[in-house]
Amino acid sequence: MRENGNICCNDKKERVKRVEKNQICAICGKKGQGVLEATVKNLIKDEFKYKIKEKVYYLCMDKNCEVAYYDVYGEYIKANELKVPLWFKDGANPKYICYCNYVTEEDIVDAVVNKGAKDIKEVAEITGAMKNGNCKMNNPLGKCCGPLIKEIIKRELELKKK
Ligand SMILES: [Zn+2]
């Protein structure tokens, strides 16, 4: 039987494969969501830009974990190394939902509770959310904030009914 060669290297490859497959955060062990390099580059503070080496990152969605993005090698960028707070992390302030127009969860709740908005169109009109969106660059997930806004509207309308 042939020898396998360098064991350290194989170990590293195995580890990378495991992270790629499961997308697990190196710190909290929870599954993250894939985000492209361009998004991370746009959101990281200038002094930490040197940390970006990969094409694909994962966003750690755990509210208590200090990690924002991590790569398959287990290298990571902390939430406080970004220019904006991540809305789902504990203590996020301000809690932006639409990162293109800096509309917060508070603004959306206010539109629904105090200004009578009933759907995403009305919320967008009142708050300015989703206008001229460049979500791929500005939203920490690299995706449109619309689904999240809808969730908040739904939650607030339910609360209003009670
Ligand atoms: Zn984490």
Query: pLDDT tens, 6-27?
Result: 455 556 666 666 666 668 898 9
Domains 7-81 and 96-161 share a fold: no
The domain defined by 7-81 folds into: N-terminal domain of TfIIb (2.20.25)
DSSP-assigned states of every residue in 58-117 = EE---TT-SEEEE-TTS-EEEGGGBSS--TTSTT-SS-EEETTTTEEHHHHHHHHHTT--
CA–CA separation, 51 and 116 (whole Å) = 45
Residue 4 has pLDDT above 50, yes or no: no
% of the chain with per-residue pLDDT over 70 = 86
Q: What is the pLDDT of residues 62-106, one digit of tens each?
A: 999 999 999 988 899 999 999 999 999 999 999 999 999 999 999
Task: Tell how far the Cα of 26 is from the centroid of ligand 1, in angstroms.
Answer: 7
Q: What residue ranges do the domains of the chain occupy?
A: 7-81, 96-161
**Residue pLDDT, tens place only, 101-146:** 999 999 999 999 999 999 999 999 999 999 988 999 999 999 999 9
Ligand 1 center–CA 14 separation, angstroms: 20
Contact 30, 23 (CB under 8 A): no
CATH architecture of 96-161: Orthogonal Bundle (1.10)
What percentage of the chain exceeds 90 in pLDDT? 79
- Span from the CA of 24 to the centroid of ligand 1 (angstroms): 8
